[in-house]
């Protein structure tokens, strides 16, 4: 089993790849006004991390129910946090208002060519690392998918590998969109999911278009499969993996994905200890 | 902070390094009789792993209260397990009897030049990896210490680094021996410790001698410091670390060890989920 363990990445997920690439492209003269982003937590930490290193102020719009680990990680990088209510407020509107008022750059979490390109650096590493470890080319990469920034970036970076996106059941809109050949949003009443990082209601033309042209396919996994994968990661891999980061491993352990010549992207490990205990007990 | 994360090693600890080096030195003609070892679990898994790959039968003498994760890992590599009672039986006597009856090779867990040399390969990697990451030579390596196989091996492999052995309070016999200049065993009634991997009653002339000649020093950490280090590893490093593997990190987080130019050996991650929950709650 080959795993790209981005839970071990700085900030605990792959998200700083895209954030760094986007923020470092902002001309020096425009950096003082800072950046604004909205995120349940991993993109938040990535943007905060990159902004701190570039000396830029960062404001992050986060849901009031974001995991404490993600709020703490974002705050630790010096970002200002503005909370909103998932049920009654629009994070897009709040973030756009803040960006306009401050003259700050709004940094989307996936619908942006810089972000896609930055996340794709994980794909460049997968290609090189798989070849170094096995002497062969990687044939298949399974990627957890919310808005599709990571999966489309990897699809571009690994043009010879089959791309399989993995989503929680009921939130598998990218898979469904790829099957139908057109973007389908998540249904009106999606089921509860532990995958806070993958609760994106609609993918982007940019990310869907890349995955469609690359012939990507989709898979969905259930909550008990995700919990089993988190337990496996703890007991066997000695890795702390968050629910959204465990979906590819869940698919593999459930026999939904061949392991031969496959790399599983395990995208993040930002989970509160209490949540981890509850899910894996 | 630089960590050598041997919890990510196959079998979940560094122990397969010495086991592989020792077992692969056994002449082909003598392999059919197999090997015998005694261990609370990490050496057990290392020996079982190496024996399975060399096609040798392995019998491991384990305490009846060994962590379930370690028993399962040892069994998964096809070894036969013989349990004994820590309070009333001698594992050395049982293992020696089994080895004599079967004509098998007894593989000590630390008092053996092959084992010391094998564990030392972690030190060769630390020297190379620290230089690759920083461009500088590593100045100090902190190593968790039971019988001293790993720490003496690293001391030989990294002859220019200061070696600091770290032990649980009340079990810090290597540190005390180094201070006194002669081997002092653990006291008659040592305190309870979560570090099942570091409960060695007496170090060996071999390992003590190497560390003494290298001018190694010792540190002790308490149970609450160890638990805090396990929590830190979970929340920040996204690593599952067992109590005995967390003592160097515990010393660093407690301010007992300078972090500058230091590598912390985190030696293993074989901890039962329930134990982990209890220690880190």
DSSP letter string over chain A? -EEEEGGGSGGGBTTHHHHHHHHTTS-GGGGGG-EEEE-SSHHHHHHHHHHHHHT--EEEEEETT--HHHHHHHHHTT-EEEEE-TTT--HHHHHHHHHHHHTPEE--SSSSHHHHHHHTHHHHHHHHHHHHHHSS---EEEEE-SSSHHHHHHHHH-TTSEEEEEEETT--HHHHHHHHTS--PPPSSPPP-S-GGG--SS--HHHHHHHHHTT-EEEEE-HHHHHHHHHHIIIII-B---GGGSHHHHHHHTTSS--TTEEEEE-B----HHHHHHHH-
Q: What are the chain A neighbours of B280 within 8 Å (beta carbons)?
A: 273
User: Collapsing DSSP states into helix, strand and coil, what is residue B171?
Assistant: coil
Domain end position, chosen among A109, A129, A160: A109
Q: What is the mean pLDDT of residues A130-152?
A: 97
Give me the pLDDT at residue B40, please: 82
Domain end position, chosen among A54, A77, A109: A109
pLDDT at A132 over 90: yes
Say if the Cβ atoms of A238 and B241 lie within 8 Å. yes
Q: Are residues A122 and A75 in the same domain?
A: no
pLDDT at B1 over 90: no
Q: Are residues A261 and A124 in the same domain?
A: yes
pLDDT at A180 over 90: yes
Reported as a pLDDT band with limits 50, 70 and 90, residue A87 is confident
Q: Are residues A209 and A88 in the same domain?
A: no
Q: Are residues A95 and A195 in the same domain?
A: no
Q: Are residues A168 and A220 in the same domain?
A: yes
Q: What is the mean pLDDT of residues B67-75?
A: 91
Instruction: Please count the structural domains in chain B.
Output: 2
Q: Are residues B30 and B6 in the same domain?
A: no
Domain that holds residue A98: 16-109
Q: Are residues A275 and A137 in the same domain?
A: yes
Q: Give me chain B's average pLDDT, please.
A: 96
pLDDT at A69 over 90: no
Q: Are residues A65 and A136 in the same domain?
A: no
- pLDDT tens for each residue of B139-184: 999 999 999 999 999 999 999 999 999 999 999 999 999 999 999 9
Give me the pLDDT at residue A280, please: 85
pLDDT at A86 over 90: no
Q: Are residues A56 and A147 in the same domain?
A: no
Q: What are the chain B neighbours of A241 within 8 Å (beta carbons)?
A: 238
- Tell me, what CATH number does A246's domain have? 3.40.50.1100
Q: Are residues B124 and B100 in the same domain?
A: no
Q: Are residues B138 and B259 in the same domain?
A: yes
Q: Does B277 touch chain A (CB under 8 A)?
A: yes
User: Collapsing DSSP states into helix, strand and coil, what is residue B82?
Assistant: strand
Instruction: Name the pTM for this structure.
Output: 0.94
The C-alpha atoms of residue B274 and residue A222 are separated, in whole angstroms, by: 24
- pLDDT tens for each residue of A1-43: 899 999 999 999 999 999 999 999 999 999 999 999 999 889 9
pLDDT at B281 over 90: no
Q: Searching chain B, which residue's CA lies closest to the CA of residue A267?
A: B238
Reported as a pLDDT band with limits 50, 70 and 90, residue A229 is very high
User: Collapsing DSSP states into helix, strand and coil, what is residue B13?
Assistant: strand
| Chain A: closest CA distance from residue B166 (Å) | 22
Give me the pLDDT at residue A172, please: 97
Reported as a pLDDT band with limits 50, 70 and 90, residue A76 is very high
**Phi, psi at residue A179, to the nearest 5°?**
-65, -40
Q: Are residues B146 and B209 in the same domain?
A: yes
Q: What is the mean pLDDT of residues A91-112?
A: 95
CB atoms under 10 Å from CB of A136, counted, come to 9
Q: Does B2 touch chain A (CB under 8 A)?
A: no
Domain end position, chosen among B45, B76, B109: B109
Give me the pLDDT at residue B86, please: 85
Give me the pLDDT at residue B69, please: 87
Q: What is the mean pLDDT of residues A34-53?
A: 95
Predicted-complex ipTM score:
0.93
Q: Give me chain A's average pLDDT, please.
A: 96
Q: Does B269 touch chain A (CB under 8 A)?
A: yes
Facing residue for A269 by CB, picked from B7, B238, B269: B238
Reported as a pLDDT band with limits 50, 70 and 90, residue A267 is very high
Facing residue for B69 by CB, picked from A235, A237, A280: A235
Q: Searching chain A, which residue's CA lies closest to the CA of residue B9?
A: A237
B280 touches A273 (CB < 8 A): yes
Q: What is the mean pLDDT of residues B96-109?
A: 95
């Amino acid at each position: 089993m080959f795993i790209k363990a981005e839970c071990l990445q700085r900030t605990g997920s792959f998200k700083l790849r895209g954030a760094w690439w986007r923020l470092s492209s902002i001309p020096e003269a425009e950096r003082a006004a800072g950046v604004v982003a909205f995120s349940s937590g991993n993109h938040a930490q990535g943007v905060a991390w990159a902004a701190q290193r570039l000396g830029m102020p960062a404001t992050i719009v986060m849901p009031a129910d974001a995991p404490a680990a993600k709020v703490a990680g974002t705050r630790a990088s010096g970002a200002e946090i503005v909370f909103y209510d998932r049920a009654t407020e629009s994070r897009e509107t709040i973030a756009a208002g803040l960006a306009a008022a401050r003259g700050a750059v709004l940094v989307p979490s996936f619908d942006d060519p810089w972000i896609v390109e930055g996340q794709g650096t994980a794909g460049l590493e997968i290609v090189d690392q798989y070849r170094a470890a096995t002497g062969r080319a990687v044939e298949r990469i399974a990627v957890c998918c919310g808005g599709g920034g990571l999966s489309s970036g990897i699809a571009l970076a690994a043009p010879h590998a089959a791309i399989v996106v993995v989503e929680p059941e009921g939130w598998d809109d990218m898979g469904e969109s790829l099957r139908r050949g057109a973007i389908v949003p998540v249904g009106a009443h999606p089921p509860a999911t532990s995958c806070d990082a993958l609760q994106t209601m609609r993918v982007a033309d940019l990310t869907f278009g890349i995955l469609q042209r690359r012939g990507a396919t989709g898979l969905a996994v259930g909550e008990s499969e995700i919990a089993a994968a988190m337990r496996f990661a703890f007991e066997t891999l000695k890795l702390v993996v968050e629910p959204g980061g465990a979906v590819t491993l869940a698919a593999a352990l459930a026999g939904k994905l061949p392991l031969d010549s496959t790399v599983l992207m395990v995208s993040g490990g930002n989970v509160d200890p209490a949540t981890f205990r509850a899910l894996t007990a």
